[in-house]
Chain A
Amino acid sequence: MVLRYHVAMPDAPGGRPEPEPRAAAPRALGLAGVVVGVVASGGLLALALRSLEPGDVVAAWRSSTPWPWIPLAVAAYLAGHLVRGQRCRTLVRAHAPLGLVAASNVVVLGYASNNVLPARLGELVRAGVLAERTGMPVTQALTVTLLERLLDALAVLAFLVLAMTRLPPDPWTLEIARVAGVGLGVAGAALATAALAPGLVIASVARATAGLGANTQTRAVRLTAGVVDAVVTLREPSVLAPVLGTSLLVWALETAMFVLLLPAFGLAADPWRGAAVMSVANLGILVPSTPGYVGTFHWFCANALGAQGVDAPTALAYAVVAHLSFFVPVTAWGAVALLGHGVRVGRAVALARSARRPGPGGEVAGWAYRRVALRAAPGAAEPPPPPPFLRALAEALVDGTGAPPEPAALDRAARFAALQLRALPPALRAAHAAGLAGFRAWITVRHGRSFHRLAVPARRRAVDAWAFGPIAPLRQLLRPLRSLLLLGYFESVASAERGGRAPREAAP
């Protein structure tokens, strides 16, 4: 039956503007793509080789014991790129599905491009490719890239701080850690604000640019929305945890590379020393520099090793080999990725561009509007499985109410309560989660097993002690949960008994 008034809705034809249709790619672009791909990857390799000094390479190689250390180091480094790919997938999951190989290729293309372009311009290349692969706006892709770099820098800093606690004090390394800490702290705080208060950030930009005219304001808000949408994904624990985990793993693997190279120069494979050198060298090359960080990397790497008491010629030889160990494989991988990518790039770029750019205006229900930015779509809400803890809590609460508990209603109540808690304001949700963790820990310590493994009478006693006991904060902690579980359970039972209702009649 039909409502007698018009409400513009997705299902109401004419009610909502269709997203712009994607332009059909001309066939010629496909061929052009192949040419672009071959030329670009050949160029990449040529540029890369040009920036190396053959004499240095040969000298360093001669002074080392390559086998098996260098191949192992390279393997650790390349494994790190697969982990980076996985992290990139997680970060863009809300916007587009990306395979592991495709994501790793995107990452590697960025690294390879940095090897041939100055001033870290490879980051722009990587953002462009990411935008093309996912269809997300370039600003957003660039923010994802910057976010990855920031996470990298934070992880590297963490490794450095850890290493410094284990190594003899060294003022030079300490100074690097201090400078990096301040810079990263500021950047991290800005990103945290964008992640936690995206609306506030967009509103502030809109208000700040209000006097600059509609077009400038639109552009500024569009740019901000892109940045904020990329960052906001980190708010979800299901994104934040794997992203932090993979970031640490990436740099653990990179540390492994530096550690494995130490024995190649007769040095002990000390993980702390490796971590310190890795950290200083990588923080050093955050500074925009020459293509492939030639010079910058060597200077920071050799000095970091020197600060650990290694003599200068060995430290430099080590730096040259370490540089080659990442430079050559990643550039080669990048060239191969670019070749494959280039075949499709022409067509894909044309498509992505037409789909991505918000047009100047649209119209809804006959009312014109100006398009500003496409926002990240909230992830499809999968009905979560009933959490065992909540189900067990529901079971303890409904025990003794006169009828045996109904399993389907328990499941539903647990799922309902979980979704309700998720809808709490963020600060309250965090406080509540922390309190519940305390409750569960207390049960585990007291009974030697988790709450949902206790027998129902024991669970009931525990709940009664907390939720109905004399201590007000404990009662308040469990108050929302016990109310929600009881509401969910008994409404589910009643609803199952009642069966369906006939739909509402149309308005006369």
Chain B
Amino acid sequence: MSGAPARRAQVLVIGSGAGGATAALTLAERGHDVLVLEEGPRIPDSRYGGDAVDAMDTWYRDRGMTPILGRVPIGFVEGRCVGGSTEINSGFWHRTPRETLLRWRTRFGLDVTPEELEPCFAWAEALLHVSLHAGPRPASTELFARGIERMGWSAQEVPRAARGCQGSNACAQGCPTGAKQGVTRRLLPAAVAAGARVVADCRAKLLTRRGPRVTGVFAELGLGDGRRELVHFEADHVVVAGGPLQTPFLLRRSGFRYNVGATLGLHPMLKVVARFPAPVDAEAGVLPLLGVREFWPDVSLGGAFTTRGHLAMQLSDAWPAARGLLAERRHLASYYVAVRGSGAGAVRPAAFGEAPRVTYDLSTDDLRHLSQGLGRLASALLAAGATEVWPTVQRLGPIRAEADAVRWLDELLDRRRLSLTTVHAFSSCPMGELHERTATDSRGRLRGTENVTLLDASVLPDSPGVNPQGSVMGLARHNALRLADELAR
């Protein structure tokens, strides 16, 4: 649908990632005047799939150095570029499970039904070419499948937003072939074709308000010659889609605190490196594509990105014993255990500096799920024929026998020895109708204002239990459609 609505609103969208791009396209298609402010740069095509070391500076916020603090520090990365994290993610796609949506209804009063979301998912999937992998599956996937089968578990190939994937194994540096659908592939160009404008290198610093209305945004705009200018944009409506950490940071800085930043959720992830007797050449192909559903929603097992640098990093927890393994890197592949995350996280402006202070306290449930997940993943990999499984746990050493693996079904890993990472963060500004638990209503309208809507990972009420991009885009589309109608009135 396009054409001018009865009333054409000026909408500022902060952030051009999964949520921001969805909002921009939906609102522009419906005739609203949309300006997207993106803090990061526009990356030219020539830099997609470039060198992994340079990539940290190009694509990632703070060069990927955004640790989440707590008793167990967790490494976290997110995108900071036009397209946000969608440009560097692996493109695994899940619709929000029905069970999750029903839970959100019960716990948060989320007034969105699975049926309402259905067309929103379908819309995103069509734009992102979500599909199963065509062509032969890589050895790392086949071996994983064998292990899962031998364990008698159920698993499924996870669809990806990467039709025609050629296995360049460079998702984290921007897909070099353009098969992986970051939102710069189709969503943002479609939004611009519908009239939206995208301004790169422009960081929103503060929402300005008068009474219950936000009047606009103070933003820092790069002038292209190294200088930056503090400017003020006015708007009828502001959509905040800066992602799970930056959205609550901006809101809290701007004086919006009600349930903002107090309930950050994560999927803590523990990686393992499996060594197989025959070469698997994981470095030369797409990452393992299967996801184990058996222990869902608490524990998910799957395949991780394998490169030489990442292998070394993952083995570094046991480096004195593992340093020789890299000589056999063709035999190595990485897998992960991710848990639903029931610990307490928070995002607050740091006392000093210009970034949020992010904390997450790993719960005992998380620890138990990570331990059990490790036991199960190691068992499956050993059943698949792996001779050793090296977890990212300091001073633990390799797991070589199933008896060593199943030990973790009962015992807890030592917190102080864990090297955890995550790329899934959400629910820092949860949405729903249950006032006391949420920062926005079911449409993402920020409480305490008349004209601010949140449309990104921050509003997922809690863990979707699956990779979040599908949930982010489905809900963003759903609420952007309603916002477009509301603004037109």
Interface residues of A (CB under 8 A from B): 1, 3-11, 15-17, 19, 196-200, 202-203, 206-207, 210-211, 214, 217-218, 221-222, 225, 358, 362, 364-378, 380, 397-403, 412, 416, 419-421, 423-428, 464, 467-468, 470, 472, 475-476, 479, 482-483, 486-495, 501-507
CA distance A426 to B65 in the complex (A): 11
Are B230 and A365 closer than 8 Å at their CB atoms? Answer: no
Q: Which residues of B contact A368 (CB under 8 A)?
A: 234
Q: Which residues of A contact B200 (CB under 8 A)?
A: 7-9
CA distance A388 to B104 in the complex (A): 53
Q: Which residues of A contact B351 (CB under 8 A)?
A: 196-197, 427
Are B352 and A427 closer than 8 Å at their CB atoms? Answer: yes
Q: Which of chain B's residues 199-221 have a Cβ closer than 8 Å to chain A?
A: 199-202, 205-206, 208-210, 215, 218-221
Tell me whether B255 is interfacial, beta carbon within 8 Å. yes
Q: Which residues of A contact B193 (CB under 8 A)?
A: 4-5
Decide yes or no: A16 and B224 within 8 Å by CB, A493-B308, A504-B176 being known contacts.
yes
CA distance A402 to B323 in the complex (A): 8
Decide yes or no: A364 and B49 within 8 Å by CB, A401-B327, A403-B327 being known contacts.
no
Return the chain B residue nearest A198 by Cβ: B354
Q: Which residues of A contact B355 (CB under 8 A)?
A: 425
Summed over the interface, the residue pairs from A and B with CB atoms below 8 Å come to a total of 280
Q: Which of chain B's residues 222-280 have a Cβ closer than 8 Å to chain A?
A: 222-234, 253-255
Tell me whether B307 is interfacial, beta carbon within 8 Å. yes
Are A492 and B53 closer than 8 Å at their CB atoms? Answer: yes
Interface residues of B (CB under 8 A from A): 10, 35, 41-42, 44-53, 56-57, 62-67, 69, 73, 82, 168, 170, 174-178, 184-186, 188-193, 197-202, 205-206, 208-210, 215, 218-234, 253-255, 283, 307-313, 316, 318-320, 323-324, 326-327, 349-355, 357, 394-395, 416-417, 419
Are A19 and B225 closer than 8 Å at their CB atoms? Answer: yes
CA distance A362 to B192 in the complex (A): 21
Are B198 and A7 closer than 8 Å at their CB atoms? Answer: yes
Q: Which residues of B contact A221 (CB under 8 A)?
A: 218, 230
Return the chain B residue nearest A470 by Cβ: B395
Are A372 and B231 closer than 8 Å at their CB atoms? Answer: yes
CA distance A227 to B144 in the complex (A): 59
Are B82 and A7 closer than 8 Å at their CB atoms? Answer: yes
Interface hub of B202, B221, B307 (most chain A Cβ within 10 A): B221
Are A10 and B224 closer than 8 Å at their CB atoms? Answer: yes
- Across the interface, B197 reaches (CB within 8 A) one of A222, A366, A369, A400, namely A366
Decide yes or no: A365 and B35 within 8 Å by CB, A358-B229, A416-B53, A427-B352 being known contacts.
yes
CA distance A365 to B417 in the complex (A): 51
Are B316 and A483 closer than 8 Å at their CB atoms? Answer: yes
Decide yes or no: A487 and B178 within 8 Å by CB, A200-B253, A365-B199 being known contacts.
no
Are A504 and B63 closer than 8 Å at their CB atoms? Answer: no
Q: Which 9 A-B pairs have the closest CB atoms?
A: A10-B224, A402-B327, A5-B192, A491-B309, A504-B48, A365-B197, A5-B189, A196-B352, A503-B46
CA distance A330 to B192 in the complex (A): 62
CA distance A400 to B321 in the complex (A): 10
Return the chain B residue nearest A473 by Cβ: B416
The distance from the CB of A96 to the nearest CB of chain B, in whole angstroms, is: 12
Are A490 and B312 closer than 8 Å at their CB atoms? Answer: yes
8 interchain pairs, CB-CB under 8 A: A203-B253, A218-B232, A370-B234, A402-B326, A423-B62, A424-B65, A488-B53, A504-B174
Q: Which residues of A contact B51 (CB under 8 A)?
A: 491, 495
CA distance A472 to B395 in the complex (A): 10
CA distance A372 to B230 in the complex (A): 5
